[in-house]
Chain A
């Protein structure tokens, strides 16, 4: 596993010396700044800010505005992880060093998780701003970040898998966008369907997931789902990287 750490370090240093990192982080903060401002305006003009519903719960998954940027930012962050190495040819030097496929994938996945946390860390400032103008339920904030971390574990694993499967970065990005978009839309079936189908869609719903966490409710069913998808996607990534040798 020491080699996974070596892969993780290289991935992160490569990301943070690239202009991509700063374009992504700046665009992310501009987008979320606007979203937070709109939500704060909405709640200040409409007297609905009671109980668990407030600008912060809206920001942390209470509205579709939370998910729209993720459909773009997750593919952009994960597309280069393995597909970038294929395109530049460095996968050959990497995979002919004495490293296992599992170490490479775990190192890349770990780097993806750190990138995900780097996206979210600056948003703590919104909670601080709210605390300066009213009371903040810090328990709900903790639960929100907890939920976001697990959602990231799920999203980054899907992005990583697409990066292993795709021959180029752009194809990896498109595949991740479509996969996460379809999963998001299936979740909306919760409001459309009935019976068992509704139950299944509710279980898959990332919207329901974040609505629950943003109100301070840590629902372990969502955690089990996130971790199951993450483990499955990381395992498939290792398998796909091994299968490449025979392909």
Chain B
């Protein structure tokens, strides 16, 4: 379960995330949508402990993630936007390192399983710096899965994947329904319709919608456009 209450984060005088509250129930797959610069990555970075909120509460699996950040991070698998990796390491060395950091028991077995789940077993001895974007994304996913966490937070997980890889990824995430709590940020509306039970839309740091893809008679694309374009909201800025 992920619970966020009145989450706010400022950078100097600029408010990047403004009083955002939502919940993701156990086993639920939720899409986190918003235009570029809406505050998606900042929100996810606060959930994963990389950034501290200016104010507000975060609960990860019932643990207060602001005061007990390390315990909360033990319950999380996170795939950061752009998937930063140590370019000098081989895929299996990297996953071994990440598994060791996360204190994963039976490390060799966990590495093999995560390689299989993410579909990178064929690249296990390749050097990370020489991988294509698609492979890098999948190594990031393998890292998020290696400790078998109950909660997955994925920031733009399908960017750079080809259509076949996107399909495989969607099948994988659908398979988590009822087993893992998943919050994924994306720009791709069809992805949300294909895999998510619910969608949270933010704009300029504020939550503007929390709905199931089938809730509205309009298409998700129309709802998104209405909620996030300047003309639709009458915002002159």
Interface residues of A (CB under 8 A from B): 2-3, 6-7, 9-10, 13-14, 17-18, 88-90, 92-100, 245-246
Contacts and interface: CB of A to CB of B under 8 A. Distances in A.
A104 to B, nearest CB: 10
B50 A98 contact: no
A88 B45 contact: no
B143 interface: yes
Interface stretch (B22-30, B94-102, B114-122): B94-102
A10 B86 contact: yes
Given A14-B86, A245-B50, A100 B70 contact: yes
B133 interface: no
Given A10-B97, A88-B87, A98-B74, 14 more contacts: A3-B100, A3-B101, A3-B103, A7-B101, A17-B88, A89-B84, A90-B85, A92-B84, A93-B143, A95-B49, A96-B80, A97-B73, A98-B70, A246-B52
A93 B100 contact: no
Contacts of A99: 70, 101
Contact of A96 (B73, B85, B100, B103): B73
11 contacts: A6-B97, A14-B86, A14-B89, A88-B87, A89-B84, A96-B49, A96-B73, A96-B76, A96-B80, A97-B73, A100-B70
Given A10-B97, A245-B51, A93 B84 contact: yes
A96 B70 CA distance: 9
Contacts of B45: 92, 96
Given A10-B86, A10-B97, A90-B85, A95 B103 contact: no
A97 B84 contact: no
B84 A88 contact: yes
A100 to B, nearest CB: 6
A2 B103 contact: yes
A58 to B, nearest CB: 39
A12 to B, nearest CB: 12
A92 B50 contact: yes
A6 B50 contact: no
B131 to A, nearest CB: 15
Interface in B43-70: 45, 48-52, 70
A99 B70 CA distance: 6
Contacts of A98: 70-71, 73-74, 101-103
Contacts of B32: none
A110 to B, nearest CB: 15
A9 to B, nearest CB: 8
B78 interface: yes
A3 B103 CA distance: 8
Contacts of A3: 100-101, 103
B82 interface: yes
Output the residue of B71, B74, B84 with the most chain A CB within 10 A.
B84
A95 to B, nearest CB: 6
Contacts of A100: 70
Which 9 residue pairs are nearest across A and B when measured between Cβ atoms? A89-B84, A98-B73, A245-B52, A96-B48, A98-B74, A6-B100, A97-B101, A90-B84, A246-B52
Contacts of A18: 88
Contacts of A96: 45, 48-50, 73, 76, 78, 80
Contacts of A7: 101
Contacts of A6: 97, 100-101
A10 B51 CA distance: 24
Contacts of A17: 88
B86 A90 contact: yes
A90 B78 CA distance: 13
A210 B49 CA distance: 44
Contacts of B143: 93
B165 to A, nearest CB: 21
A18 B129 CA distance: 13
Nearest to A2: B103
A220 B100 CA distance: 39
A17 B78 CA distance: 27
Output the residue of A6, A17, A88, A93 with the most chain B CB within 10 A.
A93
